[in-house]
């Protein structure tokens, strides 16, 4: 239990220090998911997407997550926003 709390504190510190680092966010999302903290993992992903809205990888990850969580309307809005930013 102590190791998990220590890891959690380190991930939170890294997220605070590097709020726009995709790798830090990806690792934190994986950690929180592994702990069953889906809401926290989602919040991390939403936060990094807010910092890096032009990242297609983050947009896809967030869209997939929202859809999996039953938040299809929000996922669709993210896709529409991407289309509107770069129409084909």
* pLDDT the model gives residue 87: 61
* pLDDT the model gives residue 85: 80
Question: For the chain, where are the alpha helices, taking DSSP H only?
Answer: 2-17, 22-34, 38-51, 56-68, 72-85
Regions of the chain with pLDDT less than 70: 86-88
* pLDDT the model gives residue 37: 96
pLDDT tens-digit readout, 59-82: 999 999 999 999 999 999 999 988
Place of tokens 């592994």: 34
* pLDDT the model gives residue 42: 97
Cβ–Cβ < 8 Å for 65, 57: no
* pLDDT the model gives residue 88: 58
């Amino acid at each position: 239990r102590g190791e998990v709390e220590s890891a959690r504190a380190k991930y939170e510190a890294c997220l605070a220090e590097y709020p726009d680092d995709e790798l830090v966010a990806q690792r934190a999302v994986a950690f929180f998911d592994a702990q069953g903290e889906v809401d926290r993992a989602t919040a991390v992903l939403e936060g990094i997407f807010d910092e890096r809205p032009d990242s297609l990888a983050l947009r896809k990850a967030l869209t997939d997550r929202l859809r999996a969580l039953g938040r299809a309307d929000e996922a669709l809005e993210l896709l529409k926003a991407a289309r509107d930013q770069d129409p084909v």
